[in-house]
């Protein structure tokens, strides 16, 4: 049986490891929000994305309660949701609105072209 403190410890360890591998979490979440916003053609905030990813993990847990990694990931996404639910004034949050949706799409298209 897994203890709650073990799940939370593993979550913190994973967050730190991913930060080393992929860079700051906020930057990665912002990029994902711009992509999701462009695809869905509606604004998706960093907080929204964290809640959506938590929902995905909960769905996976309902299919397999023995896969510990899903619990770790769900705890991590909830922690980020809490962090981004009421950002500090210094934290940059994506401000994607219907008015600048086309600009977001163009920015994503430019980024895709630069990768080629």
Reported as a pLDDT band with limits 50, 70 and 90, residue 71 is very high
4 pLDDT higher than 70: yes
Higher pLDDT, 105 or 39: 39
Mean pLDDT of 29-54: 92
Report pLDDT for 93: 47
Q: Output the six-digit token pair for 110.
A: 């430019």
What pLDDT sits at residue 92? 52
Query: What gap in Å lies between CA 37 and CA 42, rounded to an integer?
Result: 5
């Amino acid at each position: 049986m897994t203890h709650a403190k073990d799940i939370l410890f593993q979550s913190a360890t994973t967050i730190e490891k991913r930060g080393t591998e992929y860079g700051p979490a906020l930057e990665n979440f912002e990029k994902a929000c711009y992509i999701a916003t462009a695809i869905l053609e509606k604004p998706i905030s960093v907080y929204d994305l964290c809640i959506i990813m938590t929902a995905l993990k909960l769905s996976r847990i309902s299919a397999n309660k023995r896969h510990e990694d899903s619990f770790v990931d769900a705890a991590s996404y909830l922690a980020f949701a809490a962090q981004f639910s009421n950002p500090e004034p210094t934290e940059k949050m994506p401000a994607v609105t219907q008015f600048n949706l086309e600009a977001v799409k163009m920015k994503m298209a430019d980024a895709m072209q630069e990768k080629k």
